[in-house]
Structure 1
């Protein structure tokens, strides 16, 4: 029993470190994260050999196995078309090996008490990301020296000072999609009478970090938050007063942001013309931006509409000399690489999980925790962000997406249905 308790404690500790690292420093420090990941995958073996292991989570394993199988199909098409060897190797790692590892990891974390820890992890991540971005901006304008060149390179942290706006490129800006979706839903849909001040503060940090980052897709996602939050509320069959809260929160956020922007405009910190041009430029072509990718990817898709080009296919638009087969428009690239057949399989896989969650939520004995609902909301925000950024090609962001099959994995009991790992 003592060994079992130590094993669970280690699993919780390593789970916190791995999930926290995925939020705060995604796509960075892979060598440092690898031992933690390996230990998490190894710990369930102790229970297995001691004959005290619990039943694994069938839905995440099935989901990621199917995900890997679809990627394996696209890899086969890529090999058939003679796509670059490095692209095939990267596709094998990202599309087959990573999903299998994540499925095993979710099984390892099956008994992880998310309701007790995940909220604190997300709140801490929001504050840390704001601090990292703020110090990066201060260093860029010469106020101080906070980061070494090694740190900047590892986290891809760069600050651009432009007329009318800032632009921060950093891997952890992508985490803000998930964090914003999580905290917005957690704050607005929490049925507890007492407001969680820490969560509200973390939400304000997230909104400020989103503004400072200059990431247009993130700012648009926050503006469209009611759509994603109401979708999540509908999936989980929330009461009507929750939806009314969502609309009220959105109005407060929009009013607050608008007031802050007016203050900046009136004091000469921002210029209206430059600010408007910044957002309208999202839809303009500069000879190699996303609109060029969209036209090129769709045109190439029409050449092989059913099974696509396979993983590793390229078009006449090159965004990276090191990896010319990688594009920012995730879903158009999926259509180009996987074709109609592959995209249809992905759609069936994802929507079947969402449909199952909706069915479970409408069961009279179902009791999803607020943390699971908020994590689902975060995953929806991240999926929106992935439309114009290649987030889903990362282990850390794929780990965040695992909440969808996790939420669909329930255990049927005579007394009630319960999401495994959440009490």
Structure 2
């Protein structure tokens, strides 16, 4: 990674609770466009302790949907509003764009301060310090859990919230919208449903969802860049609610998209659908990659090998691993009661990836476009239940679903 010697700039704002230097902002104050002074906090703990008194400043303010009236308006003066480039997997910021041998035309833009979560929301164990504690050492990293009926019902409820949150994001996607504005919608919709946006501060990831544009394969960080006519953008949402996680993503068209990109996105959607169709008790996990690889290669595309689907439930990521490529070595067979994701990442060109200096954004090695779709699934006695399935109210954004 480049730019290790770049100077890191910190905000000059002070915590409204204790007076220490503050990097975090109250999300409601941001939404209401209230002054940043008095809305900044140094930690989630200070924010929690101040919430009962701080929330009174919102009462007289007029509420308006975040970022929908004037797309990009909040980014009009990045140099004076604390927007900085992300470095070191979210643990550092810089006022200068890092030096890097970029593979395509996309570049990182500055990001806003981390959004805060109200104290009444149940939060995972990484919410405060960015470090998962239970997940890495759990025996569920090596053993595939069979969920009980209570866990399954919680998963259904959480995954439905995740679907509704992703649909809310999909409805605002158009040229001129920034990916930070998408993140704001995801953040507010998740909190409004009583959930926590699982990516937020997970291993220091600085935002509430991932937004992966054009050549970005996955884990793109929402920033100040405005979506342009012809872009494709993947929005990856995970919700933590009632102690369990629900994970899904879709790739959307921005305005008028070229035919090659349309074929890529449709093929990726079909890869996911075809792989879901084989899920049932007794099927080997490694067969998923065979199905996806066959369909992608027949369409002239390649399958990313560096990232895979995963088990999910009370842990964000756990066993089983679900590779999406052929001739993989995934261990085990499916059993009723298991929950996991399938999330193929399909590239227009070569399958290999590169990592941006922010430590999160994975891009295609040749700069060509990539697409992804994801569902959280439950293996049933007779087949599969798609817990994050599209709803009758989901926006009609994929032309092939109308034929």
Q: TM-score if structure 1 supplies the norm length?
A: 0.23
Kindly name which structure, 1 or 2, has the bigger radius of gyration based on alpha carbons.
1
Which structure has more helix as a fraction of its residues? 1
Q: Which has the higher contact order (CA 8 A, sep 6+)?
A: 1
